Structure 1
Amino acid sequence: MNPPSATTGPPVHRVALLFNASKVYDREVMTGIADYINSTRAAWDLFLEEDFVYRLNGIDQWEGDGIIADFDDPEVARALGGCRMPVVAVGGSYADEREYPLDVPYVATDNRKLVGLACEHLIAAGLRHLAFFGLPADPGRRWAREREQACRDAAAAVGLPLAVYQGLTTRATDWGEAMNGLTQWLQSLPKPVGIVAVTDARARQLLQACTMAGIAVPEQVALIGIDNDPLTRVLARIPLSSVMQGTAEMGRTAAHLLHQMLGGARLGNLRVVVPPAGIHVLASSQPSRAGHPRVMRALMFIRQYACQGIRTEQVADYVGVSRSTLESHFRRERQCSVHDDILRQRIEVACGLLRQGTGQIAEIARRAGFSSVQYMNTVFRRELNCTPREYQTQWLGSHPAKEKEQDQ
């Protein structure tokens, strides 16, 4: 530890963060750590690898004062076992107490509440068939096993059947086989069904498999992931619902505990379990009343391509019927035209972009599939009784805290 200085205030501590920034979970934990440092008198000199990926080689020789590390990786737990400097562990919660490390303060995400919240959301949507898409067993992914068991328990508690599929690990050599297996599993499930995916990455695979199999999301398969990963949302054509982990709070808590330890506190086996921050509910988990198969197939196409300038004729071609036949189905089941649903989807996308509070109106109009800003203004005035800018101002004025939370 560097000595205190009369001019610089509290002593500066050298703290290592052993996290992998390629994972949204780790990035947000580190964001929470940064929030704590910036809002307190903690003076830390942070050690991270330049590419923000932790490497354990040589960590036992690092001359520092404290470490905050992701203990979901068993190698990390082994490498830091018996470490003489203060260590705070971050990871998943476990039903079996023996899964936790000894003599290390531990800050955990609540796996049971994460999955329970997802199940409650799907059940509240009226779904009476549930499924879980997990990951193959792996010592480095004990949290996935915990989430799978939590889903089994949640379904059993309300007397609903649960189908579980672990699939294959994502690799280039096995991608075709993995997607074929996932598609076959989806086709075998009773419909409509609500599926909890162990992560957003697995939820995105579900969306792709549903598209390949012509399964309508969310009418036939409603799904929700875990992580609220912005990158996954960008890579998915249908907006993906997700449970938000309390990762930033985990980071702040871990930093607070280490700060106490650096001041001489002995915390031993202290455990803090952090609940989820809520659910970001989007189109993938909001099923409407099941209707004619042609309507569901058309809606799936519209959700994916409405912002690409599609027209009613293209939707009818995809479904394989004439425009008049498809229009007849829509009028009967949805009391609107195909064009109305295309426009509704564009408005929903535009509103979502406006609520983010960033981006030029012209760029938002383009991304939402409107031919011009003037046309988007006309549609908003007709359908929402306001301009896009007025909508954005009203939303951000009444939901500042919510928007900040969703953008984290």
Structure 2
Amino acid sequence: MFDPDPQSTDPFQARVTRSASLKQVAVLVETDSSAGCRVIRGIANYADRYADWHLLIDPRDHNHRPVLPDGWQGHGIIARPTSPQELAALQASGLPLVNVDDLVAEEPKVASVLTDEEELADMALGHLLDRGFRTFAYFAPPSLEYSKRRRDAFVTRLAQDDRPCHEYKPGYRAGRRIGWAEQQRRVERWIRGLPTPIAVLAVDAPRARQLAEICHLAGVRVPDDVAILAGSLDELMCDVSTPPLSSINVASERIGHDAAQLLDQLMNGAAPPTATLLVPPRGVNSRQSTDLLAIDDEEIVDALRYIRNNAHRGIVVEDILRQVPISRRSLEIQFRKYLGRSPAREIRRVQLERSRDLLGRRELSITEVALACGFANATRFGVAFKKDTGKTPYAFRKELLSGQPSSTLNV
């Protein structure tokens, strides 16, 4: 006979009790993109640690559109609706809902967790300025797949420094079907009208790869004439591009984790937040597409190349002076003129940039990361890393690999 006693140790009863307590959460986030999969990973990481959820992942109808299945008895939804109509249909369910896509971020009464586009713009500009670029452009063909938030943030950030932005404006509206050949002609015409060298921020990795391909077909050198930085990370798109693409490492796992945490609070009766929750990107993955030093001082270019090729060997300023025929005073003056920092600070910046990438590799210990970046030991690495980021290498790695933020989310 079934024993309803909650203190019973009957394993069947335990399974029934747990099944009854499970919350059903629909995750309407695409599984056919790198970013979507990382958002889902962040959601799953939160559920594994803190919640008793069953996740319904990426349900689709016969037309491959995201949809809640008929008869689904759920408790909450995390979604990337691509239109106000999709959002309205989800809101009509009456269930707590968290949006993780900026296409509907301006819609009223929707809780959202999104990338901090102002931080992304600042990070992108800093990366390109560090390479000596002083002329900039933005590439985003008209599309219904993304909003203008990234463009607005980048243009605004440039304007703060009185820098113009050469935007791609082909003269047709989002939704119009444009063939590859016609789009290639329009983009090539735009590229050839740009001053060079120029650094271009593309809205995302697929469009960055598209731009690199058109440059290749048009005989435009990347990065010598046009440097390309992808506004999002997609490992496949960035790796298969010619040349490999530098990209902004948007914190998709963190977005998923924070969205799950927010949904958990909403399902437990918390009031929705009054503002969108913004998650800063993790950094820039530097690759060949921006590996150009657009500086007209040959000795400083040589010094910067030496630093980038050897910082992981633990070099100091004296090593640079042995390689480049320049006085220490001139080196210091020119570095501050072009980069706004000293040669020693540039060495440390390159070391820490490399460390952020290596900390994402689970197989390396903190000590191995420290040594691979040119630090004498893990202690010195930890001090420098915390001074630069405000976090220990261990805390940064934990957040990076799990999507879990180091601080709690407040609604």
**Partner amino acid, structure 2, of 1:70:** R
Paired residues in the alignment total: 308
Of the three residues 114, 126, 130, the one matched with 2:120 is: 114
| CA deviation string 1:227-261 (max 9, x = no partner) | 21111023212121101111111100111122222
Partner of 1:322: none
For 1:185-334, what aligned pairs fall within 5 Å after superposition?
185-267=190-272, 269=274, 271-288=276-293
Instruction: Verify the 8 A CA contact 2:25 2:53 in the aligned structure 1.
Output: no
2:162 partner amino acid: G
Matches within 5 A, 1:328-343: none
Match of 2:96 in 1: 86
CA contact (8 A) 1:48 1:54 kept: no
Q: Is the 8 A contact 1:118 1:243 kept in 2?
A: yes
Counterpart in the other structure of 1:15 = 25
SS at match of 1:7: helix
Q: How does 1:23-38 map to 2 (within 5 A)?
A: 23-38=33-48
* Greater displacement, 46-55 / 78-87: 46-55
Q: Return 5+ residue gaps in structure 1 as ranges.
A: 292-350, 360-390
Q: CA deviation at 1:395?
A: 3.4
Tell me the amino acid that sits aligned with residue 165 of structure 1: Y
Deviation for aligned residue 1:176: 1.0
How many Å apart are 1:156 and its aligned residue? Answer: 1.2
CA deviations 1:214-235 (Å, max 9, x no partner) are 2222222111012211110232
How far is 1:197 from its partner? 0.4
Q: Distance in 1 between matches of 2:235 and 2:402?
A: 8
Structure 2: 5+ residue runs without aligned partners? 7-11, 297-353, 382-392, 404-411
CA RMSD, aligned part only? 3.9
Instruction: Please point out which of 98, 101, 104 is paired with 2:107.
Output: 101
Deviation at 1:170, TM superposition (A): 11
Matched, 1:160 2:160: no
Change (3 A) 1:228 1:222: same
Contact 1:125 1:287 in 2 (8 A): yes
Asked if 2 retains the 8 angstrom alpha-carbon contact of 1:105 and 1:267, the reply is: yes
- What is the letter of the counterpart of residue 159 of structure 1? D
Instruction: Measure, in 1, the Cα distance between the counterparts of 2:46 and 2:126.
Output: 32
Alignment partner for residue 395 of structure 1, among 372, 375, 385? 372
Q: Pick from 63, 67, 70: which aligns with 2:73?
A: 63
Contact 1:106–1:269 (CA under 8 A) maintained in structure 2: no
Query: Would the alpha carbon gap of residues 54 and 105 (structure 1) be closer, same or farther in structure 2, given more than 3 Å must change?
Result: farther
> 2:283 is aligned with what amino acid?
G
Alpha-carbon displacement from aligned partner over 1:346-397 (angstroms, at most 9, x marks no partner): xxxxx9xx979799xxxxxxxxxxxxxxxxxxxxxxxxxxxxxxx9995399
CA deviations 1:11-35 (Å, max 9, x no partner) are 1011111111223222211111011
Measured at CA, do residues 126 and 181 of structure 1 come closer, stay the same or move farther in structure 2, by a change above 3 Å? same
Contact kept in structure 2, 1:69 and 1:76, CA below 8 Å: no
Deviation readout 1:119-143 (Å, 9 max, x if unpaired): 22112221111111012154x53x2
TM-score where L is the length of structure 1:
0.65
Change (3 A) 1:160 1:183: same
CA distance in 2, matches of 1:257, 1:358: 28
- Offset, 1:273: 1.0
Quote the sequence identity (%).
28
Distance change (3 Å), C-alpha of 1:221 and 1:67: same
CA distance in 2, matches of 1:15, 1:54: 20
Once residues 61 and 231 of structure 1 are traced to their aligned partners in structure 2, the CA distance between those partners, rounded to angstroms, is 37
User: Equivalent residue of 1:80, what SS?
Assistant: helix
What's the counterpart of residue 134 of structure 1? 140
Q: Is the 8 A contact 1:92 1:111 kept in 2?
A: no
Using CA pairs under 8 Å that are at least 6 residues apart, name the structure with larger relative contact order, 1 or 2: 2
State the alpha-carbon separation in 1 of the partners of residues 275 and 49 from structure 2: 24
2:132 and 2:295 in contact (8 A); partners too: no
How far apart are the structure 2 equivalents of 1:241 and 1:176? 26
AA matched with 1:7: A
Question: What amino acid maps onto 2:33 in structure 1?
Answer: K
Structure 1 residue matching 2:162: 3-state secondary structure: coil
Change (3 A) 1:64 1:274: same
Question: What are the residue-to-residue correspondences of 1:355-394 with 2, within 5 Å?
Answer: none
State how far apart, in whole Å, the 2-side matches of 1:392 and 1:261 are: 40
**Cα shift at 1:211:** 1.5
